Structure 1
Amino acid sequence: MTALPLPPGSTLGILGGGQLGRMLALAAARLGLDVAVLERDADSPAGQVSNHTIVGAYDDPAALEKLAAVARVVTFEFENVPAQSVLTLQKLGCEVAPGAEALAVAQDRVAEKQFLNAAGAPTVAFSSADSADEAVAAATAMGAPVLMKTRREGYDGKGQRWIEHAADAADAFEVLGRVPVILEAPADFVRELSVIAARGRDGETAIYPLAENHHEGGVLRRSLAPAEVSAALAEQAEKIARRVLDGLNYVGVIGIELFELKDGRLLVNEIAPRVHNSGHWTQDGCSVDQFEQHVRAVAGWPLGPTEPHARIEMLNLLGDEADQWAKYAHDPDARLHLYGKRQAKPGRKMGHVNRLRRL
């Protein structure tokens, strides 16, 4: 197996070539590491700034062999990487982090909720259904309205439907493709928060301050961090984060989305076993951002500090909003991060802006 910590001059492998992979590659380069990206697109955002691009499907055995030949440690930028690919890389002698358990839990929303509850991280009530009849029965038992989501895949508001009446669950099941689903009770929340946390190979943890998140159409629009929260709420979030990290024997950075209820309790909405959109504020608000933190963790390095030195408003740039780059470049308090995507599409994340507010 790979000797850790991974020394400078070594190669880190990344499954996935999107914007998260790009920012991971840039962070790795600052630490003196080379990067090899496995991605289907030869001109991917991450590939543009990496030492090697291996073009192929994430489950292509030949492509995985090429990655294992150059990379001693491999990570991934999104959770829909096939679990078999992780096992294949491990058989080829690679260290892969986060591990297969975290990937399996995050890929199935029912397994995710079951894990969270077992770990002492509370969630909304939920039920599963594998057919239209089961969906109607579950919605009836839970009491509408309920939110129906596909158990697998789906992101940024995709793969989900609100059910206002139990009888409508059958139609929603059809619309979602007649695949296994989860039904979730609504959360009576006052705001959406998230916590970015990291765990090293030695069990060391590092937790960033909470971010307050605002969504539009199921897509994160902006985050404010550090969020204005009480010490008790921050402590509650940190306790949840540590339970999740330890329960998964996790290595790397994880994003945990939370609902703050009217009574001050926190519920976990979902977890993402990777760097997270709501953690982009750390790039300009902390001395060690979430991307460097993730590289440090998976490479076996010590974790870095998480204390903020600025309050940040992070704004996602969607579609042709990135064409306003000159405006942000003229703003002395704005820090522009563009992803190198060649084509702007409506709703597509093209970049983000961090606007500084000194503490």
Structure 2
Amino acid sequence: MNYPNFPDDCNSLLSKYLTPEVFDALKNKKTSNGFTLGQAINSGVKNLDSGIGVYAGDQESYSVFAALFDPIIEEYHGFRKEDAHKSNLNPEDLNAPNPDPEGLYIISTRIRVGRNVDHMPLGPGISKEQRDQVESSVVEGLYTLEGELAGKYYPLLGMSKEVQDSLIKDHFLFKEGDRFLDAAGLNRNWPEGRGIYHNNDKTFLVWVNEEDQLRIISMQKGGDIKEVFTRLVSAIKSIETKVSFAYSDHLGYITSCPTNLGTAMRASVHIALPNLAKDMEAFKKITDAYHLQIRGIHGEHSQSEDGVYDISNRRRLGITEVEAVQDMYDGVVALIEAEKALSEVRH
């Protein structure tokens, strides 16, 4: 394997930190699952417009290729290799009465976490047999869910057109991964070993073996952020009785993309802010103050429609889950206040 040449206009963190010296030190190393540097960097080498450009193939990748991963993690999360991560999934510690009880601004709330099964390679490094094994143990865990979380698992393999259409209509179905995930090795053996679970109320969803082995998602219409968080936590605890998740005291919950490490949580609302949308500087000033990210309503790299935005926490590592959701909540309260003030000025 030769050192990749990155063009001058490539801005990925991979191109910044994979110096020839780092490359030489790591190029012949492998994790005990046989995952190599070439596999870790393939996505960023093939996709020069990547923001990050690296994926881990197992928990060990973060130590074996630390000379590359550590500076990327430090730049992205502001989290140093001597720092420790703490988890707190106690909904009682979250101060979040509904900020929009009349439903004038918040359309929906969604909180998701990524999880991977302990002692198993991650998606980029997993074998077909291991992926199938993950699916069967996760599904066993999902069928322990009771009450409002009870539901059904739909494997992607052999899924009927009717089920497919209805899941697409609800925005539940994940499609084959994009080119970034493809180059990372995450689309191998598609669609085998993959599927979707959702409860009967369609307020709770688990993606099995997409980017991470589990994407656990709680969601509902409106702005009751605490209710969404509480449902998510009770599901995580129930699944954990059957499946243990990969976790480290340094990096928190282990994920294949280093941007999701730590809480592995994205807490978001779809919110209508038509007045603030006309003053992006004021908008960004608020979101920056609360460490929030602004996206269009169809996720990353999409545009807003009718002044509706997807607002989520930016920080994941080195803060607790409660702090991540609190950031989002406090920022949303500030955004609603600013939007109200602007509508009064304009009337």
TM-score bucket (shorter structure) = 0.3 to 0.5
TM value normalised by structure 2:
0.34
Question: Which of the pair is proportionally richer in strand?
Answer: 1
TM value normalised by structure 1:
0.33
Question: Which of the pair is proportionally richer in helix?
Answer: 2
Indicate the structure whose relative CO is greater, using CA pairs within 8 Å and at least 6 residues apart. Answer: 2
